[in-house]
Structure 1
Amino acid sequence: MFGEKEKVSTETGGSYGEMESKLKKWQNYEKLAGVVRTTHPYSEWDLETLGSSTGLYLKDEVPLWVSDYEGYGVKSGDGREKFNVKDRSTFIFIEESSSEALALKVESLTREVSELRAMAASASRVRMEEKTIKHYSSKHKILLVGEGDFSFSLCLAKAFGSASNMVATSLDSRDTLTRNYSRALQNLLQLENLGCTILHEVNAHTMSQHPFLQHKLFDRIVFNFPHAGFVFREHHSFQIESHKRVVRGFLKSSREMVSEDGEIHVTHKTAYPFCEWRIEKIAEEVGLQLVKEVPFCIWEYEGYCNKKGSGDRCNDSFPVGLCSTFKFMNKDPPTDPQVYDFI
């Protein structure tokens, strides 16, 4: 039997109202006794809340096995019939204001906090899991320059599962983009949903002075197929010089924005007349060194659709043919002392 400091009930019949009345009555006994026990099967009654409303705290809930109590016959409320006691528990209550109840509450809260911290740490590990596509990693801070319909940015974002590490820019305004490129708006909305920072009307020559980009450093700065627009035919010397000015301005500005071990990537056709741009020489002139030249294969970037970007057929794609991604790094850090922050 239970000790003298325990108030015990094994009554199982009765209504919800009767149970509430019993708990209130037992709460008065509790000031003299140590424990109140009630055995019940109905989860809808929510005995824990009911006990709390009467000044009791649920200390424990343990399964009831009638076989443990030899000679105990479970009867219905009128005492005439036995009933099935399957899925039945004994609820053990103590006075809510007791030191034991307070200690149990602290223990419960501590356990919940630990579980939440574990969940947060697990979620953080998932977020921090590195994902890569070719030369780019989800751990890189990436700046994309001169985007057309933003399909290359979206390709990277989908590979990473997030675009929170990316800033994607275009020379055109948002309105111009949505007019010129059939999928621009759809791509932009997807990027925004993935957490990408999107900037429009950003000039590659002056981007290091852009209010948002100023004093920020990136691990990868990417410009795919830079182009000055169609004025002359591609092999014309004036057209080539125009293209070279675009590349020079981009590289010069990027040099101030790339991290110490970061890289500046230019993807460019290598067949004639595009080889006449001599971008390696331009890079050297602005203080960069070629780290590596690797073949560019457009099919390795699922969803990327390169665009002409100029003229009446700006939404058309073009054959990339032989082309490479040129990877540049700073020969020396920029001499102008500035305070830099990572995005």
Structure 2
Amino acid sequence: MQDISFGFQAAAADVASVPDHQLYRDLMSDCELGHRLGYDAAWLLEHHFSDYYPTPSPLPMMAHIAAKFPDLSLGTSVLVLPWYHPLRLAEEIAMLNMLTRGTLHLGIGRGTAKMEYDAYNIDMNEGRARFSEVFKIVERGLKGEPFTHHGRFWNIERPIRLRPDPVDKPVHFYGAIGSPASAEVMGDLGIPPICLSTFPDGLLVKILDRWRARAGARANGAILPISVKMFIADTDEEARDIGRRYFPAYFALQADHYEADANPWTEIPEYADFSRMFANLRKLTDPAELGPFHDSNLVGSAETICRRIDALMGLGFNYFMVSCATPGTPLAVRQQMMTRFAEEICPRYSSAMRKGRAA
């Protein structure tokens, strides 16, 4: 069987009446547990100005995690590039890579929430172009050589060289995929996609096919992550009961954060796909509507979860980023889920986690 890797989403997941500083302490507690259980990496989100995963500064948080757990690899899902000055971002990535012993898995994307774009005074119609230009500058900067740049949004007239000097440890970049068109953008940039398991399997196949067609030889041997929500129990019905209890709050915050009910993307051509994708988001706050979502993610008994992992592996994915840190899910519940998943599922697929358990 193909050997695959498992990371976990480390999130400041909002729980009623819990102050922000406690959310971040809980995030660190998840990292301690994930490191001890043998997960490959902790993956952090970036969101601003709302209760929906309030982690606005993932890179400083990752530096803090690295100081506590230096062998734990770290990831982002995702850094929203249009909101950054590319040189400052490249410097912070270079600094973080120097301070860590583990691998940096940096998921990057263009963002979806209009209220975040509005707050940063950036036109969403420029999102895709800004994303590509920022990435190209970051990529050039991380080579450690003097460079200039002349683009649509950024000009670097005088040759500059980034500090600190790059260390001999590659940074792995992945591009968030919201549509097959995004897959082509990532293929042109030579970045593997990072996908969501909530996309229909047929769409996931189309995304990977279009990405490979544009990436060419760069697709060979690529790490292909997929983000999946996870609740595990003795039976499928028990796991779905957990999902019906905790997922509605997650979808309510998501719908509020993205203003899905108002459909703010109708006048933004680059985001037409999101008008369709988010059209029915609010209905998932109804526990009775969660069946298809449970089916596409890892919600069920160990046997059911393994069948879903096998199906996603069959599509081509080889890195699973699992998340049970949904808003409203108590720390004890999500850590129970992380532990059971690491003990009952991961060793079936990961040689590293099998060795860890043996040790």
TM-score by length of 2: 0.29
Q: Which of the two has greater helix per residue?
A: 2
Q: Which has the higher contact order (CA 8 A, sep 6+)?
A: 2
Q: Which of the two has greater strand per residue?
A: 1
Mark the structure with the bigger radius of gyration: 1
TM-score by length of 1: 0.30
